[in-house]
Each structure stands twice: as C-alpha cells, then as structure tokens.
Amino acid sequence: MTRLAFKQVFSDATRKATKIPAKQYKKSGKYPIIDQSMNAIAGYADSTEGLYSDVPAIVFGDHTRAVKYAERPFFIGADGTKVLKQVREEDNLRYLFHALRAVDLPDEGYTRHFKWLKECTFRVPDAAEQRRIAKILDSVQGQITLADQMLEKADALIQSRFIEMFGDPVDNPRKWQKRYLKSLGTLKNGLNFKRSEQGESIRVIGVSDFGSRTSISSYEKVPFVSLASSPAKECFLEDGDILFVRSNGNKKLVGRNMIVNSPFERVAYSGFCIRLRITAKEVTPFFVNSLLSNHELKQQLLGSTRGANISNLSQGMLAELPIIVPPLALQNQFAEFVTSVELLKSTITAECDRLRTLYDSLAQQYFA
C-alpha cells in the first residue's frame, strides 16, 4: 500500500478563505463560520464576499487540533484555522478526513500544531478501498453523533426543568433569597505540573475532558499524569464537587462547568480548572451545577453582555457571583429529577464510549 507525505496528499487552501473576527460572528445567518473550536459551527455571516465555495473541504484547528468536514460554502475564524483540500483528484476526501482525525499529534497546549501535521505520512489505498473505509467509519461516526445529540437533549431537558421550577436565575421573578457563591462553598485552583515530571501516576481531569458534558461519572478515559510529589488531600475530587474551565485559548470553553459523580479512585484536576466544593446546607450540588450552567447566568459571569467573552475565569469572579437560594425541599425535588436523567445519560454515555472505542480501533487498523 502506498504511503505518501502530507504535501503529496493535502494542499493548504487557507489563503483562499476569508477570515471573520469572533466579534463579528452572528447567532444566525446564511453561511456558517468554521473556526478551530470544538463546535461544528462557531457562528454565521450573511455576506457573500470572500465566501469559500470550493467544498467539500477539511478544516484543521492549528491550536486545538480539531478536524472538521465542511460540505457547504463557509467562512473561517480569524485565528488558527486551516483549510485543506486533496492534491490527487482520485482520492476520497472523506477517507482523508478520517485519516487526519487518526493522526496522533502531541498536545502542546495553545501552540501551533500544523508544523507537526506537515511532517506526517499517510496510507493511501486505491480509490475503491478508500470509499469502503470511509463508508464504515462514517457509519460509526453517525451513531456517535446521534448519541451526542441525545445527551445534548437530556441536558436541555434538565435546563428546561430548572427554569420551570425556579424561574430565570438572573431576573429572579420569584424573588428567591440570593447569596454570594463564596458563602456557599470553597474554591480551589487545580494542579500545575510539567509533562517531564516523573513519579506517582494520578488521573488528572483537564479541559479536554469537559467536552459538552455537564457531569462526569466515568473516569476510565481520564488520562494519567506523572507527578514528582503526591498532591495534598484537598487536590483530589469528591462526590458533588463542581469543576469550571478557568483558562483556555478557546474563549468559548472558559466558564464551562460540570459536576463530579462518585470518583472510584483518586482523581485530581489540572491548573486550568477551578473546583467548587459546596459546604452550605442551604443548597445542593445538583442545583448549583444546573444553575451555573444557565445561559443567562453564564453571560453575567463571563461578561458576554458587555460585548466580549473573557479569556480567564478567577476564583474572585466566581466568589462574587450572586445566586438564588430556593427552598431546600424544592432543590431536592429537582435533584431527584436530575438523578433520573443522569441514569439515562449514563446508559447513552456507555454506548457512546463503546462506539468511540470501536471507531478508534478501526482507525488504528486502517491508518496506523
């Protein structure tokens, strides 16, 4: 089977695409804007000037390593977005898309990864075999996408139930008592470490483990990190802890939160995260996590209403956030509802993990 260098397989068409600054993104419009974030579509634009129409095309996130497949004309984000096309007309672009996804690039944080991608080589079988492989992987990926959509609907159901029971947490139409978050729990930044450290191996949750989830119950895929010394007890997560993304090159990830459910072993969290541990008896972790996932409250926290998202979240910002405190009985009723939805989500997540394992196994077989 032929193995070709990157430049023999892909051409960089980025210069032919028009970059749109994040501040110009619209929530809806005629044409999508695809950037380097993990979101399929970052925003929209209505102009046709500079629209990239040579589709389908592959979009690569230079900082994030995200790989996307664009099937209709689009614009690109202003920073770190690469547009790739196939060099050889006989190659199947869906096959090349999956081949790119299978590349194991080093995660060097918010640096540019395209230079490493250009050093890779790719297995390129004949056209018929490319179509066969692409069809198989598309089928598995389609099932993963469907499972992810079901998880998103489950989270939307929780938010809908939250509003139904408690009202808008910012406008507070039901006049619930309000407390600053600092009076309801403790906040702590995560571990800072170097990848060159050697010593005790511990699972450490990082920004990449958040995804779009609002809770985490399975820790098998949380990566191990070697630490020169054992962290203090308070650095390990407990049931009911809430994690926030503190800092990330992708501003859209900053402020994202999820609740930790029953870690089966010692699990810590990285310095790019902040942990909230509820200590007050007036609120439940399920309620606070759902409240902090509310879009309006998130805007208040991150300053979106002032025109631009922040790039870093601090303990101080969280501490001074005023939140509603409804009766505990009502919170417990909500927690029962969330628990039932989380059981459904755990079943879907298990199936999603199985499908991802299958996809990875097939990709290893086809592209290694």
Which domains does the chain carry? 2-124 (3.90.220.20), 166-325 (3.90.220.20)
Give me the pLDDT at residue 307, please: 39
The backbone torsions φ and ψ at residue 148, rounded to the nearest 5 degrees and listed phi first, read -65, -40
Which residue has 């895929």 as its token pair? 221
Which is nearest to 74 in space by CA: 37, 44, 101, 100?
A: 44
Give me the pLDDT at residue 231, please: 87
Task: Report residue 102 as tokens.
Answer: 């299978």
Give me the pLDDT at residue 306, please: 40
pLDDT in tens for each of the 368 residues of the chain? Answer: 689 999 999 999 999 999 999 889 999 999 999 998 878 899 999 999 999 999 999 999 988 889 999 999 999 998 889 999 999 999 999 999 999 999 988 766 667 889 999 999 999 999 999 999 999 999 999 999 999 999 999 989 999 999 999 999 999 999 999 999 999 999 999 998 876 677 788 999 998 888 778 888 888 889 898 888 888 889 999 999 999 999 886 777 889 999 998 887 889 999 999 999 999 999 999 999 999 988 888 877 777 444 345 678 999 999 999 999 999 999 999 999 998 998 898 899 889 989 999 999 999 999 98
Give me the pLDDT at residue 248, please: 80
